[in-house]
Each structure stands twice: as C-alpha cells, then as structure tokens.
Amino acid sequence: MSEHYFEVEPGIELHYIDEGEGRPIVFVPGWTFSVDVFEKQIEFFSKRYRVIAVDPRNHGKSTISVVRNTYDVQGEDLAKLIDHLQLKDIVLIGWSFGGLALWSYVEQQGVGNLSAAVAIDVSPRTLSSDPNEWVAGALEDLIQVHNHSLDSASHYRDFIDFFAENLLFEHPITEEEKARFTAPSLQIPHQIADALYVDGWLADKKVAAKTVDQAVPSLTFISSARAETGVPYVQAEFPNSEIHVFGNHQLFWEYADKFNQILDQFLSKHKL
C-alpha cells in the first residue's frame, strides 16, 4: 500500500494510506485501532475510487501526543489532511469512535465538501440520561473502565484483550487475529487511551449527525448485538439514513464481501 505522512502541527504527523483514483473515500478507524482494519475495503474500493485511510494522532503509525487528545482535535486534523490533499466531494466513513471524528469534522467544516457519510456501529452519544438514546452503556460502566481498566498498563492490556475477544467478531477470534488487531492499541500509553475513551463517552455529536442526515446521503451499519436499540433510534432520529444490521463491532472486516457490496451499491445508487 502507498503510505504517506502529513504534519498537522509541529511535531505531530498523521500516517495515511492513499490508493487509487477517482472520487475520494476517507476511512477513519475507531478508538486505538489503525488503518490496517480497512485493508479489505482499501483493496476493493481503490479499483474505482481514491481511497484514503488515516491513522488519527496516537493511532497506528501516527505520532503519539500527550496533549490535545479529543475527537474534536481528530476532526481538526482530518480537515487539515483533506485540505492538504485537496480532496473534493468526499465520502467520509467513520468506524466506532472514528464516527465522532467524522461528526466533529462536520461541526467545524459543515457538509459542503461531503458527498456522503457512513457511520459504522457508532452512536453520536455514547452516554445519556435519556432512556430512549442509543448508548454504549451507563455512567457506572464508564467509571468502572476509567478507574479500573485504563488506570495502568497491565489493566489496559487486559481490557484490550477482553475487547478483542468479545466485541470484534462473531467467530471466536484466533490468536493471530488478536495479536494483529490489538498491536496498534498496545502501542498507545494507557493514559492517552483513557483520555480518548473518556472523551468519546462524553461526546455529544447529535446535532452534527442530524445535519449530515438532512444534507447528504447517509449509510449506517449497526452490529447485531446493538440492533434492538440502535435501529429504532436511527430510524427516529436520522430517518434519511439507510440502515444495515449484521455481525459484531468489526463487521466490515469479518464480513468484508457483504459490507463492500452494500457500500458499493449505496455509492452507485447515489451516483457517487
């Protein structure tokens, strides 16, 4: 793959993949993961599109930074990279907390440069006192993870193992898969992972998500385990979005053929 680096601010470089030609599709991975998760999408879509997959700061091969670790900053960085590459009419795709970076970009830049948006298994609000919201858990869950799972390097390793074994795939994860997909996470200091985790849980991107839903073609993927709450919530709050349900959190890798076909048909339907 064609690997590149771009300095978004002094001392902070973003690593990104840039393959193919045509309308740009930009992929953003979730919390602590790297562009490697999108390998099957890069291979498939780069035949007809220009595919960019970016490691946010602290992720993958991008620079580790002890400051400015928020999804608003990821949105800023994304805007700088898009401007640097002179990308126009982009299809912006965010997986998990990468969706928060997508919506942060919209908060800051609007939707003028978007031709479509895709959210993969992510709600614009991870935590809420509203019982009707699609959330990831309760305040007690955040307190537990912050105080007991991300408070030390050893606890962080255990938490990443648990995350990989229970949330990524429907099939039992192999040791090879676990080692491969958790390696980027384990390169990140637990303090930074904690800062990003807490910021993600406390983020509220609902207004930006509504703006996207009303302005551009939108596609939402929801994992099977989150469908009972996620589907009716998206249908009610973002009625223009096309919804597909299958797999677990990393559904686009485990069921790449299905995911790619759905995304390809979505792009074709909207003449993108």
CATH number for the domain spanning 77: value is 3.40.50.1820
pLDDT digits (tens, 9 = 90+) for 74-126: 999 999 999 999 999 999 999 999 999 999 999 999 999 999 999 999 999 99
Q: Indicate the SS3 state at residue 11.
A: coil
* Structural domain contains residue 140: no
* Structural domain contains residue 186: no
Query: Could you tell me the sign of the dihedral formed by the alpha carbons of 136, 138, 139, 142, in that order?
Result: negative
User: What pLDDT is recorded for position 158?
Assistant: 97
* Structural domain contains residue 164: no
Q: Total domain count for the chain? A: 1
* Structural domain contains residue 157: no
User: What pLDDT is recorded for position 129?
Assistant: 87
* Structural domain contains residue 198: no
* Structural domain contains residue 181: no
Structure tokens at 157: 């390793």
Task: Give 10-residue mean pLDDT values along the chain (272 residues).
Answer: 94 98 98 98 98 98 95 98 98 98 98 98 93 90 96 97 97 96 97 97 97 98 96 97 98 98 98 96
* Structural domain contains residue 121: yes
Question: Which residues make Cβ contacts (< 8 Å) with residue 155, sequence separation at least 6?
Answer: 148, 149, 190
Per the structure, the complete domain to which residue 44 belongs is given by: 3-126+204-269
